[in-house]
Amino acid sequence: MTPNVKGALLMVGSMAAFTVNDTLVKVALQELPLFQLVAIRGALATILIYVLARFLGSLHLNFPHHDRWLVALRCLAELSATFFFLTALKSMPLANVTAVLQALPLTVTLGAALFFSEHIGWRRILAIVLGFVGMLLIVRPGPEGFSVFSLYALVAVASVTVRDLITRRMSAEVPSMVVTLATSLSITAAAAIASILEGWVPVSAGAGMLVASAAIFVLMGYLFSVMVMRVGDVGFVAPFRYSSLIWALGLGWLVFDEWPDQITMLGAVLVVAAGLFTLFRERTHQATE
């Protein structure tokens, strides 16, 4: 398995984990306030990450001092992305926020080219654009949904881009589990503080099970999102971020009985085609070497 293929699989796994987490959170939000939910989920995820890191023996700080600053900066970028995303999501239609966030493959790929001098061929750029067009067909954002809060979504995109580029910059000596634990701790602490102002409500057994399940999936999402930026070429891996839309379509049908129309399905086909085209190009390139 080449680093690029490994990165693609990690990206698909990350998107699947985050989408399942979002689905569980959406159901649980019918009973729980947002920040209370995020705080409880974060606390459970942090405990699981800590236990797993201790079991794997990867919980140490034996890496260069400058990498510690990068871990701290990554946490700040994650906090910024979370805050601005949630603020935009409260005031904008979900389709519009999703449309803005799907600029990430382009911004991360271009950022890697500018700051890390990674080569991006025209075929990879074509695959990214193809996936972006497919995404637009799926979400079809209307102009009535865009407002000043679109700027919040753009700041979230910038924050995630910085987060991923910082992850790319870290040396191999930094354990992915340490980065994952730091991320979970920072999000949990911020949500706990915000939840004090929002207020807490009793947690039923059903809501508790949903939050606990979400904690497992968000753990996987955090870990895979760290690992994916440390293997393969960003330009190759980036189009597979669009796979989150495919997971969302499937879960929307299974959980919420939302069946996509023909235009949405066309967009899904384009998203899948972008990923398959990129994977095919990688295998062809490896075969000719």
Q: Residue 254 is encoded by which pair of tokens?
A: 């299974």
Predicted local distance difference test score (pLDDT) of residue 255: 80
Please write the tens of the pLDDT for every residue from 126-141. Answer: 877 877 787 677 666 6
Predicted local distance difference test score (pLDDT) of residue 217: 93
Q: Is 284 helix (H, G, I), strand (E, B) or coil?
A: helix
Residues composing the chain: 289
Burial (Cβ within 10 Å: 0-12, 13-18, ≥19) of residue 248: buried
Predicted local distance difference test score (pLDDT) of residue 287: 56
Q: Residue 72 is encoded by which pair of tokens?
A: 């701290």
Measured distance CA(157)–CA(151) in Å, rounded: 10
pLDDT over 70 percentage in the chain: 85
Q: What is the mean pLDDT of residues 43-47?
A: 92
Please write the tens of the pLDDT for every residue from 210-229. Answer: 999 999 998 898 888 888 87
Burial (Cβ within 10 Å: 0-12, 13-18, ≥19) of residue 54: exposed
Question: Given pLDDT bands bounded at 50, 70 and 90, which one contains residue 260?
Answer: low
* Cβ-proximal residues to 144 (8 Å cutoff; 6+ apart), any chain: none
Predicted local distance difference test score (pLDDT) of residue 108: 78
Measured distance CA(254)–CA(203) in Å, rounded: 25
Q: What is the mean pLDDT of residues 221-244?
A: 79
Please write the tens of the pLDDT for every residue from 177-196. Answer: 888 899 889 999 999 999 98
Question: Given pLDDT bands bounded at 50, 70 and 90, which one contains residue 258?
Answer: low
Of 25-29, 87-91, 95-99, 129-133, which gets the smallest average pLDDT? 95-99
Predicted local distance difference test score (pLDDT) of residue 151: 82
Say if residue 77's pLDDT is above 90: yes
Measured distance CA(156)–CA(80) in Å, rounded: 7
Predicted local distance difference test score (pLDDT) of residue 154: 84
Which of the two residues, 44 and 237, has the higher pLDDT score? 44
Predicted local distance difference test score (pLDDT) of residue 234: 74
Predicted local distance difference test score (pLDDT) of residue 231: 80
Closest C-alpha among 152, 158, 34, 25 to residue 97: 152
